[in-house]
Chain A
Amino acid sequence: MDHAKQKQSEKQAAYSTDSVNGHVEERAPVLKSSNRTGGPQVVPSEETRSHTSAVMESWKEERTRSIQDNEMNLPGIAAAYTSILRGLGEDPLRQGLLKTPWRAATAMQFFTKGYQEKISDVLNNAIFDEDHDEMVIVKDIDMFSMCEHHLVPFIGKVHIGYLPNKRVVGLSKLARIVEIYSRRLQVQERLTKQIAAAITESLQPPGVGVVIEASHMCMVMRGVQKMNSKTVTSTMLGVFREDPKTREEFLKLIKD
């Protein structure tokens, strides 16, 4: 019990400075400085240096949720779902709903499994030296995430492009980065930025572009109820931000 409480308070401490979802504001200085110098080398000024090193360290030492955490928390979450079913006026003892609290709790843990994974685990061994400096694009990556405001899914596609600087990354790793950040309680803007930041930090490329096009169930199933609306967000870093022709090439290639 004490161990659990200690872990919980550790988690709280970790989250207050670097919330599980990741404070993008802390990462921002890294991106700004690379934009200012316009090159792949990050030349941090005095005040950003401490930010940068804090961010780089936190990126490598992200506090993750473990399988044991999941097992420990499952009964609590299942009990919460039972009271939700009662609160909605349903009968939790009818056949169809008997095991629903457990299924829903496990499903919710799956939808937030991005908290269990670290970028460094996923990427650490799949960066290769390759003499290639043309744009690399992986598009139409299916993305499923949870809106952190309503706990309702939003679904869409991610398109990633980057200009390698003699270092390329395994292609599936881009999709895995998307998985890690999308399987969390998210806001689409932050998700886009986190993916771009992760690729920037791991590869240090001259430029990264990420475009996400998604349909938000919180807008489709409830609220305004606009069936066909899509939300598009993009993050352009480095050369993609500065050079309009590069950006245009990327945007043209991801259009179908």
Chain B
Amino acid sequence: MEYQKAAAEMNGVCNGNIIAEYNCHNGFSEQAMIESKKVAVQNKHEKSRKESEDESKLPALEAAYNTILKGLGENTDRQGLLLTPWRAAKAMQFLTKGYHETIYDILNDAIFDENHDEMVMVKDIDMFSLCEHHLVPFFGKVHIGYLPNKRVVGLSKLARIVEIFSRRLQVQERLTKQIALAITEALNPAGVAVVIEAAHMCMVMRGVQKMNSRTITSTMLGVFREDPKTREEFLSLVRS
């Protein structure tokens, strides 16, 4: 099977090709820069999980959900549950549709040359993802900031990058890093900062059951990592 590669972090694999940028090597920004040069070439040949594959996989997913419902002791013939396996399978495919999409498709035409070198921030981007450990949602807000290096990106593209990576089976730390690396690789800016604040239903609805707990992760690359004043400006703008 093309996915049975021990080292392959599927989260970054599209149709069997390992995309280095998505393998988060406990991030040194220099290494990210080197990897990111490799990635630029790979991106062009990326093929995503095709939508037609979704259709063909649907019956198997439906059967699996049927087994789950029966295993939980429910009566799968009652009216409310008749179509649930199909609905749940389609919902799960939607919630993992990030595997469909590639950065290359989204970004390729929305990078502009602009003589701007002040911080650009897009904050409070709503994010919904699935915890890869329990298959339970976690959701929150993403704040992105970058220092352009004569090249700016369309603002909605930042939100689209968030969508691509969050609609997968994720770990919040990896999600933060993937977003930062994607922006770095696409724009080559002077610095990128990503902060995610999320509530994990696996902690709220089960387990420790702490209703108000929030998990915050951040990735600072380039100038944001080296210069404390830049980082401070970003963080205070996030908080305001």
Which residues in A have some Cβ–Cβ distance to B below 8 Å?
11-12, 15-16, 19-21, 65, 69, 73-74, 76-77, 79-81, 83-91, 93-94, 96-97, 99-100, 103-105, 107-112, 115, 142, 144, 148-153, 155, 185, 187, 217-218, 220-222, 227
Cβ contacts A to B, 9 pairs, < 8 Å? A73-B71, A86-B60, A87-B57, A96-B11, A96-B133, A107-B134, A112-B74, A153-B205, A221-B95
Chain A: CB-nearest residue to B69: A185
Residues of chain A within 8 A of B5, CB atoms compared: 91
Chain A: CB-nearest residue to B10: A91
Q: Does the CB pair A83–B53 fall under 8 Å? A: no
Chain B nearest Cβ from A45, distance in angstroms: 28
Q: Does the CB pair B81–A148 fall under 8 Å? A: yes
Q: How far is the CA of A37 from the CA of B75 in the complex (A)?
A: 36
Q: How far is the CA of A86 from the CA of B10 in the complex (A)?
A: 11
Chain B nearest Cβ from A136, distance in angstroms: 24
The SS class assigned to the A binding surface is helix
Residues of chain B within 8 A of A19, CB atoms compared: 74-75, 78
Which among A20, A149, A220 is the interface contact of B128 at CB below 8 angstroms?
A: A220
Instruction: Say whether B155 faces chain A, with CB atoms less than 8 Å apart.
Output: no
Instruction: Say whether B73 faces chain A, with CB atoms less than 8 Å apart.
Output: yes
Chain A: CB-nearest residue to B81: A148
Q: How far is the CA of A91 from the CA of B122 in the complex (A)?
A: 33
Q: Which 7 A-B pairs have the closest CB atoms?
A: A15-B75, A73-B71, A91-B10, A80-B64, A80-B67, A151-B88, A91-B3
Residues of chain A within 8 A of B13, CB atoms compared: 91
Q: How far is the CA of A144 from the CA of B204 in the complex (A)?
A: 9
Known: A21-B74, A87-B57, A148-B80. 7 other contacts (CB 8 A): A76-B67, A77-B72, A87-B64, A87-B89, A97-B169, A149-B80, A222-B91
Chain B nearest Cβ from A109, distance in angstroms: 7
Chain B nearest Cβ from A67, distance in angstroms: 12
Q: How far is the CA of A86 from the CA of B49 in the complex (A)?
A: 12
Instruction: Say whether B45 faces chain A, with CB atoms less than 8 Å apart.
Output: no
Say which one of B34-42, B109-117, B135-143, B183-191 lies at the interface with A.
B135-143
Q: How far is the CA of A19 from the CA of B81 in the complex (A)?
A: 11
Which among B68, B70, B75, B126 is the interface contact of A81 at CB below 8 angstroms?
A: B68
Chain A: CB-nearest residue to B201: A153
Q: Does the CB pair A148–B84 fall under 8 Å? A: yes
Chain A: CB-nearest residue to B60: A87
Q: How far is the CA of A227 from the CA of B89 in the complex (A)?
A: 22
Q: Does the CB pair B81–A107 fall under 8 Å? A: no
Residues of chain A within 8 A of B74, CB atoms compared: 15, 19-21, 112, 115, 185
Q: Does the CB pair B137–A221 fall under 8 Å? A: yes
Chain B nearest Cβ from A22, distance in angstroms: 11
Q: How far is the CA of A187 from the CA of B74 in the complex (A)?
A: 14
Which among B65, B73, B95, B96 is the interface contact of A115 at CB below 8 angstroms?
A: B73
Q: Does the CB pair B137–A90 fall under 8 Å? A: no
Instruction: Say whether B33 faces chain A, with CB atoms less than 8 Å apart.
Output: no
Contacts A87-B61, A221-B137 given; indicate if A107 touches B71 (C-beta within 8 A). Answer: no
Instruction: Say whether B211 faces chain A, with CB atoms less than 8 Å apart.
Output: yes
Residues of chain A within 8 A of B205, CB atoms compared: 111, 144, 153, 155
